[in-house]
Amino acid sequence: MARSLRILVIEDDREIARALLLRLKAVGHDPFAMHEGGSGLAAAIATIPDVIILDLRLPDMDGFAVLQQLQQHDIARVIPVIIVSANVAERAKREAMLLGAHCFIEKPYDFRKLLAAIDRAASTQLPGAVNTAAAS
Partner 1 sequence: MDVFSQDILVALAANLALLALALIAYNQITAFLGKLPGRFGRWFAGLAFGLAAILSMSVPIAVEPGVLVDGRAVPIGLAALFGGPLAAAAAAVLAAIYRLTLGGAGEIAGLIGIVLAALSGILVAKLARQNGSGLAYAHLLLLGILLVFSQLVATLFLPGSDLAYTVITAATAPEAVALPLGTLFLGTLLIQERRRRDAEAAVIESERRFHTITDNLPGVVYQSLLTVGGEISYPFFSAPVQELFGVTAEEAMADASKILNTVHVDDFDRLTASIKESAQQLSVWDHEYRVVRKDGPFRWMHAKAVPHRRENGDVMWDGIITDETERKIAEMSLGVANQLLTSTNQRLSTMYETAHHFVDNVAHEFRTPLTVIKEFASIMEEGLVGEMNAEQSDYLRVICARVDDLNGLVNDMLDLSRLEAGLIGVSRRECVIPDIVGRVESILERRAKASGVDFAVEIEAGLPALFCDPEKIGRVLINLGINAFKYGGEKGGVRLWARRSGNPREIVIGVTDRGPGIPAEKLEMIFERFKQAGGLRDTAKGFGLGLSIVRELADLNLGEIAVESVVGEGTTFSLTLPVFDPPAIVARYIAKLARERTSSFYVSDIRISVSGAVDAAAAADCDAFLQQQVKREDLLMRLGPDSWILLTVDKRDADLRSKAERLRDGLVGHAAEIADGALAVEAQPVGVWRLPHQSEALIARFRALRDMALARRSA
Residue numbers at the binding site for partner 1 (CB under 8 A): 13, 15-16, 19-20, 22-23, 26, 57, 86-90, 94, 98, 106-111, 113, 132, 136
- Least Å distance, CB 81 to partner 1, is 19
- Would you say 47 or 110 has its CB closer to partner 1? 110
Cα torsion 8, 84, 114, 90: sign: negative
Residue placing its CB nearer to partner 1 in the complex, 32 or 111: 111
| 82, β-bridge pairs | 53, 103
42 versus 98: smaller Cβ distance to partner 1: 98
Q: Indicate the residue among 35 and 107 with the shorter CB distance to partner 1.
A: 107
Question: At closest approach, how far in Å is the CB of 109 from partner 1?
Answer: 7
3-class SS at 94? helix
Closest Cα to residue 104, out of 122, 127, 80, 79? 80
CB 90 to partner 1: min, Å: 7
Whole-number Å distance between alpha carbons of 23 and 16: 11
First vs last C-alpha separation in the chain: 20
